[in-house]
Structure 1
Amino acid sequence: MSGRAEIHHQHRDVTGGWLRPSVFGAMDGLVSNFALIAGVAGGTTNTRVIALGGVAGLAAGALSMAGGEYVSVASQRELAQAEIAVERRELARHPDDEQAELAQTFVDKGVAPDLAAEVARQISAHPERALEVHSRNELGVVPGELPSPMVAAVSSFLSFAVGAVLPLLPYLFGAQGLGVPATVSCVALFAAGALVSAVTARTWWYSGLRQLLVGAVAAGVTFGVGNLIGAAGL
């Protein structure tokens, strides 16, 4: 009989650096550019102006998202690395205290004191393994699994661009007015929300309707603002 425990289930990766910026980027690109195009369309019927606004919104938004994600994730990573370095120094300077601290964390989780002390001793015999366990327990991170700023930035840029181009495409193919772009955007909003439900606990129709409502409200408000400004001749 094998001494290796049988794995009966698997979990999806919830710590990677690509999912959140990808989902957020696509949603943000779709909602913000749909709202921007609706706002411009509310103030003018010139499709060249509307399309130009959409292109500018796509470029500016994608670059802004990428830059923001890169700086944000890089700062988070650097902070985690600094704290991991602190933990590494403590393990080198006060190994007995750190071992006792680790044993206490096991005791707090219900492990018998003698067994907890032995497990902590065995883990502490391997410096890198001890660092990983202490970092996970105290910081909630694993030294070798920190998110990548570049992955976050590229994911944000591409996903925002994909979302932002959808309400713009009808104008690039000669659409007149806001009807077709609005229809495309609403369908895309619902589909994007429904797609997100595949990695969450929400039903597809709930996620789809929620995303559609958010995008429709944003576009409706900006269309009204654009209409008011256009009517005022500003």
Structure 2
Amino acid sequence: MVLESAKSATMTSQSGEKQQLLLENHKEKHFMAGEVVRDVIMGVSDGLTVPFALAAGLSGAKAPSSLILTAGLAEVAAGAISMGLGGYLAAKSEADHYMRELKREQEEIINVPDTEAAEIAEILSQYGLEPHEYAPVVNSLRRNPQAWLEFMMKFELGLEKPEPRRALESALTIAIAYVVGGLVPLLPYVFVRKAQKAMFTSIGVTIAALLFFGYVKGHFTGNRPVVSALQTALIGAIASAAAYAMAKSVQGF
């Protein structure tokens, strides 16, 4: 009997060592900067499109390059502040929501533990576990309130704990990305005095930037890069064409 117990313990130890070795050798490649990429995409996309459309519209109204450049830079500054503030408020709202739900779950675990334990069982049963399989998990979580709370936040509410500086980082990322994108369609107006020539140069530069940005965006978001590039460029072209046509039609009155 003693020998069988020793043999079982040895096999368990070897199995654990094997699993640990497998985990050490297996490195999953997950992209972990999704929120940052989302902010960059949001900032650059709007930064390329809005000033581009504004410059095209003013060019259609036959405004001089100096005026287009001044108006464009003002729009970039205002847009960066607006977009950055929007990103800050959105991230702050997510953090506030998480803290409210965290407090509510803490109170429920203290006040109605049996109900919360039943919710754990229900969640685990949805993954195909039988009562005799999930009962030890439920009991283990009940002995560890912090793990219990984290389990409920993630699996019941689907909420991940936000980074403490997420709101500020989001605001800065979006604002900087907007400025970088917004300067691209305005650069030709710095070097070309005639607005019409500057506009055509701006169109070429911006379309190229939209294609490149769309391709990179598709690569990071898992979409087909070529399709993403064409879609992004098409949206920018439509926006600028609409602004140009509107300026021309208003000028006719």
**TM-score, normalised relative to structure 1:** 0.92
Counterpart of 1:90, as a letter, is: E
Query: Could you tell me which residue of structure 1 aligns to residue 221 of structure 2?
Result: 200
Q: Cα offset for 1:115?
A: 1.7
**In 1, distance between residues paired with 2:85 and 2:242?**
27
Contact 1:132 1:143 in 2 (8 A): no
Larger deviation: 192-201 or 171-180? 171-180
SS of corresponding position for 1:32: helix
| Pairwise CA distance, 1:124 | 2.5
Distance 2:31 2:147 in 1: 24
Q: Which range moves more in the overlay, 209-218 or 166-175?
A: 166-175
SS in 2 for 1:143: coil
Deviations 1:54-77 (A, max 9, x none): 101101110110011111221122
Query: How far off its partner does 1:146 sit?
Result: 7.3
Residue of structure 1 aligned with 2:109, choices 74, 77, 91? 91
Aligned to 1:224: 245
Q: Pick from 159, 173, 185 the counterpart of residue 206 of structure 2.
A: 185
Structure showing greater radius of gyration is 2
What CA deviation, in whole Å up to 9, does each residue of 1:168-221 have, x standing for no partner? 111123353211111101100111100111112322211111001000000000
C-alpha displacement at 1:229, in angstroms?
Answer: 2.1
Report what 1:10 is aligned to.
29
Alpha carbons 2:105, 2:152 under 8 Å: kept: yes
Query: Equivalent residue for 2:159?
Result: 141
Out of 106, 114, 126, the position equivalent to 2:144 is 126
- Cα deviations by residue, 1:140-172 (Å, 9 ceiling, x for unpaired): 112365781111111110111111110011112
Structure 1: gaps (5+ residues):
none
Percent of aligned positions that are identical: 28
* Aligned residues of 2:188 and 2:202 also touching (Cα < 8 A): yes
| Between structures 1 and 2, the one with greater helix share | 2
In the alignment, the residues of structure 1 paired with residue 151 and residue 164 of structure 2 have an alpha-carbon distance, to the nearest angstrom, of 15
1:80 aligns with 2:98: yes
Deviates more, 1:193-202 or 1:181-190: 193-202
Q: Please tell me the residue identity of whatever aligns with 2:75.
A: G
After TM superposition, give the deviation of residue 120 of structure 1 in Å.
1.5
Between 1:2-11 and 1:206-215, the stretch displaced more is 2-11
Q: Give the number of aligned pairs.
A: 231
Contact 1:100 1:117 in 2 (8 A): no
SS in 2 for 1:11: coil
Equivalent AA in structure 1 for residue 48 of structure 2? L
Say if 2:80 and 2:174, in contact at 8 Å, map to a contact too: yes
